[in-house]
């Protein structure tokens, strides 16, 4: 379209050139597609795929035990180590469990919120709520986690408030509960927005039809709303699940001695142990988990709802 | 229908992309750094040992690229150097020993001239062939160094120097004076179930050496002589001591700022740390105590190592000459809170800040030095030549899979 509009160039010579280019593009849809997609695809191939391929290749190499130099001998020993070491399997299990728990809780919190936004709120309230959801996304991730650190710490806001109402001390700092709460908070907007989009799309006529057929509120929610909103929930869960699965900063900052995550093992092996191949092998784990997850999500048609 | 399925496919790709960024986040960023050189030479010889050393310092190259700990390149002593030599100092700060090893390895060679690495990294750097022999005869102040730092085993192999020693300091036992009215005198406090949930130690595999040092004194039957040279049974004893300590730990700290935060907020009352945290807490008026317990302590000793492919070698030698002089040594020691390697630095320290020479032990007797087991990279070859010591990579995996 932009090209046709540009054809309004002043000089006749230019006009002829632009006309020829635009009509050539008009006749050849494949050329149009190439022109529009090349920059994005080049970016995708170079930055995502190339980096991933390097990662995958590295996963099959080793490092020299002492100098840390990479030894390019093919073997699956990194994967064997991951699959046979109890500590790594526990860490993977903990991370997946955490991602699942965060996803479920975020979905439970997000659904009524998104429902209110999409179907009950006035347009003014809706805007205000949108701002409320999006505003924290503009704040630095680290600042948000650190502010939770101040809430959870001994004698921090939480303990202080509980003490005021006579409930004693929660002492959540450096526990998996702290990690869980921070994750739920940080990824909540990523759940609300797709659920909102899905709920907003449900035609009123379908809800009316349900009521006309004798469906009470609860029945309508269960049989009409939730199935129609499900793709939105699944789409949101892809975000909350994958973001939790890959994160290491929150467990590092508010987690305790039992909070190692997949991301932390990767970080630790690149940063501290200087064992890039092992980190690469570990990075394959969340990729496999997400592939399985996305395959399941695709079956629900959720990927269209994003 | 076709249109529909195409769209689904595109969206799936986009989502997959997003998921991959988040999932593979830490690693894909670094994957561009292709490994330099292959293979290694564990416990045999330094690949660069035969490189010729500089015989005479020539004209400066006009610049010097340094990898350093934060606080090691302060304008107070870098500015005068630049004026004297015309070598413009470009600083790259590293956050950990391992980052320094990685920077020296992945700099592609020829990017950096020197690194101020600690003893736990030095051997890894030089055995990887990333450091270059140094001619100490071109560094006059080297002769004024305490004997222990002239040719220490962490930067000098078979009489060949790969850099010049800089400064050192202990890893101290820190305690909140409010929680400990009677100062603790033994590391046993951080292994004592009485202090469950109040202990903090560094999140660092080299911590195994601290456990080994403790066992050296408390379990002589293990026969530990050097906490960095552990046979398999000695190593396992240290690891299980730390695994037993885990339930007592409130937090394994990664950043000095975390430990400062935890002491200030009462999340921890006792733990292992550096003099840096102690002085930061004191500056904040927190009632912190620190001691080198009866068992002694581990410590770090830093070296300015010369990169194998240093492009600015004349400026690098000028820097080694400059940074070794007693005045500059004193300035850095007082500024950072560590002990200088130059014996003559003491009087200059007191001129900068009265009493600082004694405070940072720059005039301490040999017995003080003997109480500190300085960091060095654990390698398979023990001092007695046997090949049965546990190498550093096993320390890392034990720390991650058996301790934490």
Among the listed ranges A42-46, A183-187, B218-222, B249-253, which one has the minimum average pLDDT value?
Answer: A42-46
pLDDT band at B4; cut points 50, 70, 90: very low
User: Which pLDDT score is estimated for A305?
Assistant: 53
Q: Which residues of chain A have pLDDT under 50?
A: 1-9
Q: State phi, psi for B156 to the nearest 5 degrees.
A: -130, 120
User: Which pLDDT score is estimated for A96?
Assistant: 97
Q: Which of B38, B258, B404 sits opposite A71 (nearest CB)?
A: B38
Q: How many CB pairs under 8 A join A and B?
A: 193
User: Which pLDDT score is estimated for A84?
Assistant: 94
User: Which pLDDT score is estimated for B385?
Assistant: 82
Q: How far is B13 from chain A (nearest CA, A)?
A: 10
Q: How far is B201 from chain A (nearest CA, A)?
A: 11
Contact state of A86 with B401 under an 8 Å Cβ cutoff: yes
User: Which pLDDT score is estimated for A170?
Assistant: 80
C-alpha pair distances (Å), A117 with each of A139, A302, B243: 23, 20, 50
Contact state of B23 with A85 under an 8 Å Cβ cutoff: no
Query: pLDDT digits over A234-280, tens only?
Result: 999 999 999 999 999 999 999 988 889 999 999 888 876 778 899 99
Q: Which of B21, B38, B251 sits opposite A256 (nearest CB)?
A: B251
Q: How far is CA B284 from the centre of its chain?
A: 25
Q: How far is B70 from chain A (nearest CA, A)?
A: 17
User: Which pLDDT score is estimated for A6?
Assistant: 46
Which of B11, B18, B31 is the best substitution to test chain A (most A C-beta atoms within 10 A)?
Answer: B31
Whether residue B43 is predicted with pLDDT greater than 70 in this model: the reply is no
Which of A257, A275, A282 is the best substitution to test chain B (most B C-beta atoms within 10 A)?
Answer: A257
CA triple A81-A83-A88, angle to 5 deg: 80
Contact state of B38 with A298 under an 8 Å Cβ cutoff: no
Structure tokens at B321: 């000459």
Q: Give the SS3 label for residue B199.
A: strand
Q: Which of residues 115-154 of A touch B (CB under 8 A)?
A: 149, 153-154
CA–CA separation, A203 vs A180, rounded Å?
A: 36
Q: Which of B124, B247, B404 sits opposite A66 (nearest CB)?
A: B124
C-alpha pair distances (Å), B290 with each of B271, B278, B299: 10, 7, 14
CA–CA separation, A197 vs A193, rounded Å?
A: 6
Q: State phi, psi for B350 to the nearest 5 degrees.
A: -65, -30
Whether residue B126 is predicted with pLDDT greater than 70 in this model: the reply is yes
CA–CA separation, B373 vs B236, rounded Å?
A: 20
Average pLDDT over chain B, rounded to whole?
A: 86
Contact state of A69 with B98 under an 8 Å Cβ cutoff: no
Can you tell me which residue has the tokens 């561009």?
B32
pLDDT band at B355; cut points 50, 70, 90: confident
Whether residue B216 is predicted with pLDDT greater than 70 in this model: the reply is yes
CA triple B205-B211-B213, angle to 5 deg: 115
Structure tokens at A89: 């399997």
Residues shown for chain B:
404
Q: How far is A51 from chain B (nearest CA, A)?
A: 6
CA–CA separation, A63 vs A77, rounded Å?
A: 11
Domains annotated for chain B, with CATH where assigned, are 63-169+300-366 (3.40.190.10), 170-297+380-403 (3.40.190.10)
Q: How far is CA B77 from the centre of its chain?
A: 22
Q: What is the DSSP letter of B163?
A: E
CB atoms within 10 A of CB B224: 21
Q: What is the dihedral of CA A272, A277, A278, A283, to 10 degrees?
A: 100
Domains annotated for chain A, with CATH where assigned, are 2-42 (no CATH), 75-305 (1.10.3720.10)
What's the mean pLDDT in B358-384? 87
Q: What ipTM score was computed for the predicted complex, to two decimals? A: 0.76
Nearest to B116 by CA among B160, B46, B54, B168: B168
Strand-pair partners of B252? B201
CA triple B215-A275-B18, angle to 5 deg: 130
CA–CA separation, A180 vs A175, rounded Å?
A: 9
CB atoms within 10 A of CB B57: 18
Contact state of A286 with B246 under an 8 Å Cβ cutoff: no
Helix (H) or strand (E) holding B210: helix B207-218
CA–CA separation, B329 vs B343, rounded Å?
A: 10
Q: Give the SS3 label for residue A224.
A: helix
Whether residue B270 is predicted with pLDDT greater than 80 in this model: the reply is yes
Name B51's Cβ contacts closer than 8 Å, sequence gap at least 6: B132, B133, B308
User: N- to C-terminal Cα distance for chain B?
Assistant: 53
Whether residue B375 is predicted with pLDDT greater than 80 in this model: the reply is yes
Q: Which of residues 191-250 of A touch B (CB under 8 A)?
A: 235, 238-239, 242-243, 245-248
Whether residue B39 is predicted with pLDDT greater than 80 in this model: the reply is no
Chain B residue whose CA is closest to A95: B23
Which residues of chain A does B204 touch, with a Cβ-Cβ cutoff of 8 Å? 272
Alpha-carbon torsion (B284, B286, B291, B297), positive or negative: negative
Structure tokens at B369: 């030095």
Q: State phi, psi for B166 to the nearest 5 degrees.
A: -120, -75
Q: How far is B256 from chain A (nearest CA, A)?
A: 13
Contact state of B18 with A68 under an 8 Å Cβ cutoff: no
CA–CA separation, A172 vs A39, rounded Å?
A: 48
Q: What is the dihedral of CA B96, B101, B105, B108, to 10 degrees?
A: 40
């Amino acid at each position: 379209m932009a090209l046709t509009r540009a054809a309004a160039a002043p000089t006749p010579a230019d006009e002829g050139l632009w006309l020829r280019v635009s009509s050539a593009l008009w006749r050849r849809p494949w050329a149009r597609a190439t022109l529009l997609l090349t920059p994005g695809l080049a970016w995708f191939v170079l930055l995502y795929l190339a980096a991933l391929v390097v990662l995958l290749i590295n996963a099959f190499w080793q490092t020299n035990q002492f100098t840390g130099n990479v030894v390019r001998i093919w073997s699956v020993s990194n994967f064997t180590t991951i699959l046979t070491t109890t500590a790594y399997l526990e860490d993977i299990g903990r991370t997946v469990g955490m991602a699942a728990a965060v996803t479920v809780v975020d979905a439970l919190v997000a659904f009524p919120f998104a429902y209110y936004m999409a179907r009950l709120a006035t347009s003014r309230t809706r805007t205000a709520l949108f701002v409320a959801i999006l505003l924290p996304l503009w704040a630095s991730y680290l600042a948000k986690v650190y502010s939770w650190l101040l809430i959870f710490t001994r004698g921090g806001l939480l303990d202080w408030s509980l003490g005021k109402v006579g409930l004693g001390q929660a002492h959540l700092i450096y526990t998996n509960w702290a990690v869980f709460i921070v994750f739920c908070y940080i990824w909540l907007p990523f759940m609300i927005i797709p659920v909102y989009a899905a709920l907003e799309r449900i035609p009123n006529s379908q809800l009316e039809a349900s009521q006309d057929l004798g469906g009470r509120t609860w029945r309508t929610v269960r049989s009409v709303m939730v199935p129609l909103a499900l793709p939105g929930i699944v789409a949101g869960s892809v975000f909350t699940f994958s973001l939790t699965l890959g994160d290491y900063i929150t467990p590092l900052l508010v987690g305790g001695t039992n909070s190692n995550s997949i991301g932390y093992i990767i970080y630790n092996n690149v940063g501290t142990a200087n064992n890039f191949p092992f980190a690469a092998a570990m990075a394959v784990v969340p990729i496999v988990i997400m592939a399985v997850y996305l395959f399941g999500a695709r079956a629900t048609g959720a990927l269209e709802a994003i | 229908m076709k249109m529909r399925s195409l769209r689904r496919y595109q969206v799936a790709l986009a989502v997959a992309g997003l998921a991959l960024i988040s999932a593979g986040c830490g690693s894909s960023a670094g994957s561009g750094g292709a490994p330099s050189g292959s293979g290694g030479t564990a416990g045999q010889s330094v690949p660069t040992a035969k490189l010729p050393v500089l015989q005479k310092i020539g004209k400066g190259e006009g610049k010097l690229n340094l990898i350093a700990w934060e606080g090691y390149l302060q304008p107070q002593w870098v500015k005068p150097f630049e004026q004297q030599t015309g070598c413009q100092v470009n600083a790259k700060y590293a956050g950990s020993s391992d980052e320094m090893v990685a920077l020296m390895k992945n700099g592609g060679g020829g990017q950096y001239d020197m690194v101020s690495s600690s003893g736990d990294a030095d051997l890894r750097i030089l055995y990887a062939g990333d450091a270059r022999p140094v001619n100490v005869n071109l560094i006059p102040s080297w002769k004024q160094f305490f004997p222990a730092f002239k040719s220490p085993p962490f930067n000098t192999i078979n009489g060949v120097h790969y850099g010049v020693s800089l400064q050192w300091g202990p890893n101290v036992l820190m305690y909140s004076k409010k929680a400990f009215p009677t100062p603790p005198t033994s590391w046993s406090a951080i292994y004592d179930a009485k202090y469950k949930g109040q202990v903090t130690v560094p999140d660092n595999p080299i911590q195994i050496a601290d456990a080994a040092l403790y066992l050296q004194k408390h379990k002589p039957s293990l026969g530990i002589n050097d906490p960095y040279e552990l046979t398999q049974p000695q190593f396992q004893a240290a690891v299980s001591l730390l695994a037993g300590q885990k339930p007592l730990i409130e937090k394994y700290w990664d950043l000095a700022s975390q430990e400062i935060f935890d002491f200030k907020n009462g999340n921890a009352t006792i733990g292992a740390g550096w003099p840096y945290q102690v002085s930061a807490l004191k500056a904040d008026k927190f009632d912190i105590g620190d001691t080198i317990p009866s068992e002694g302590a581990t410590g770090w000793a830093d070296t300015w190592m010369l990169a194998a492919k240093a492009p600015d070698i004349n400026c690098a030698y000028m820097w080694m000459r400059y940074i070794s002089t007693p005045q500059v040594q004193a300035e850095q020691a007082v500024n950072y809170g560590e002990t200088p390697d130059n014996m003559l630095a003491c009087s200059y320290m007191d001129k900068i800040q009265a009493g600082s020479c004694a405070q940072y032990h720059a005039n301490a007797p040999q017995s003080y030095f003997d109480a500190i087991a300085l960091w060095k990279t654990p390698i398979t070859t023990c001092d007695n030549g046997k090949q049965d010591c546990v190498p550093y990579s096993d320390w890392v995996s034990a720390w991650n899979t058996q301790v934490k």
